[in-house]
């Protein structure tokens, strides 16, 4: 074979290899079982599943009281769930992702925040604590996934988006504050389980479905990861829910438009300061009886329950910025919170 023919043969082989490579890679991409976005969802679910547990609770009469979900919080055997799943129960059983079961002890719970902490014996079991993200950075439209045990179907995952933030809902004889709203399906048995982001991190604790009088669907709500961790840490520190919670030192009354009109108040919303307690942070920093608090930091204060959430979500010693009206004069005061037990 002459040199010219050898070169031509070599070029034909190179072209054939390139063609085959392009054909093969395109065929492989075409046959891929899922998209990049779906892969993120799959990875997130696989990340969180070992941290999700099933919770069965029985009443003192031995009757099944509640089916719920929970989240492994520590390698020492601590588990976070909803208070309404486990309170007023005699026996609590936790089933882990690998099928192992443990009897749990209820350490304590907060009715106000609907958060409870359980404890299981950590021996002879693989505990995979979940990773928690900062829920304050959530955006409406962000993809989220609810994982739990709805209607006895274990480790079910449903997908949706963040439909709303800072929702206030009155349900189950309590007022829930600053909830995450999602259209990810949440049903009986999901309570206490995680709402996660696409990194497999917990951003909320699935808590309730709200149907209202119209029977609306697609309105699930979750307690933020920030509140859940705050309450859980309080419980684990031995606080009795919680004597060392941050305290401003006033007795508040909620202002309504009717009340504002009747007394010619400068605003028709906010918190009226009925009493300022002696030696309280409020007294020390110049808040007086008759003042109207309208904002704490950058949050509008439009209810007593929201006022309590905004103050009690802080730690003693932290500062808050209080915007208020003293008569018709608007003031901004920086206040260092203290401990009520003092």
What DSSP string runs through 141-152?
Answer: T-EEEEEE-GGG
Catalytic residue positions? Answer: 84, 114, 191
Answer positive or negative: Cα dihedral of 83, 296, 305, 214: negative
What are the C-alpha distances in Å from 275 to residues 246, 278, 287, 331? 18, 9, 10, 19
Both tokens of 237, joined, read 């520190």
Cα–Cα distance for residue pair 133/71, rounded to 1 Å: 14
Place of tokens 């309080």: 234
SS3 at position 16:
helix
Q: Is residue 333 within 8 Å of 286, Cβ to Cβ?
A: yes
Q: Is residue 140 within 8 Å of 255, Cβ to Cβ?
A: no
SS3 at position 218:
coil
Continuous H helices in the chain = 3-30, 36-48, 83-86, 225-236, 257-262, 281-284, 304-312
What DSSP string runs through 160-203?
Answer: EEEEEEEEEEEETTEEEEEEEEE-S---TT-TT-EEE-TTS-EE
Pick left, alpha or beta for residue 135 (phi over 0 → left; psi -120 to 50 → alpha; otherwise beta): alpha
């Amino acid at each position: 074979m002459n040199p010219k023919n050898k070169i031509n043969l070599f070029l034909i082989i190179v072209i054939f290899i390139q063609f085959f490579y392009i054909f093969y890679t395109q065929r492989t991409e075409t046959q891929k079982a899922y998209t990049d976005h779906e892969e993120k969802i799959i990875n997130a679910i696989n990340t969180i599943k070992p941290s999700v547990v099933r919770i069965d609770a029985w009443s003192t009469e031995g009757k099944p009281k509640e089916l719920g979900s929970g989240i492994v919080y520590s390698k020492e055997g601590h588990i976070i769930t909803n208070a309404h799943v486990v309170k007023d129960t005699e026996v609590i059983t936790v089933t882990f992702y690998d099928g192992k079961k443990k009897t749990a002890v209820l350490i304590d719970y907060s009715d106000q925040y609907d958060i409870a902490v359980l404890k299981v014996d950590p021996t002879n079991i693989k505990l995979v604590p979940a990773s928690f993200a900062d829920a304050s950075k959530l955006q409406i439209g962000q993809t989220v996934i609810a994982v739990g045990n709805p209607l006895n179907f274990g480790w079910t995952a449903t997908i949706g988006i963040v439909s709303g933030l800072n929702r206030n809902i009155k349900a189950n004889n309590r007022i829930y504050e600053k909830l995450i709203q999602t259209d990810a399906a949440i049903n009986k048995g999901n309570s206490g389980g995680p709402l996660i982001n696409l990194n497999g991190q917990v951003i909320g604790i699935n808590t309730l479905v709200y149907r209202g009088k119209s029977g609306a669907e697609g309105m699930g709500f979750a307690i933020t990861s920030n509140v859940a961790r705050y309450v859980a840490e309080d419980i684990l520190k031995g606080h009795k829910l919680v004597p060392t919670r941050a305290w401003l030192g006033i007795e508040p009354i909620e202002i309504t438009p009717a009340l504002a009109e009747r007394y010619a108040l400068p605003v028709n919303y906010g918190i009226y300061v009925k009493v300022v307690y002696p030696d309280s942070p409020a007294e020390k920093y110049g808040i007086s009886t008759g003042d109207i608090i309208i904002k704490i930091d950058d949050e509008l204060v439009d209810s007593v329950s929201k006022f309590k959430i905004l103050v009690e979500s802080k730690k003693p010693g932290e500062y808050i910025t209080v915007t208020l009206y003293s008569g018709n004069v608007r003031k901004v005061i920086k206040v260092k919170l203290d401990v009520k037990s003092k």
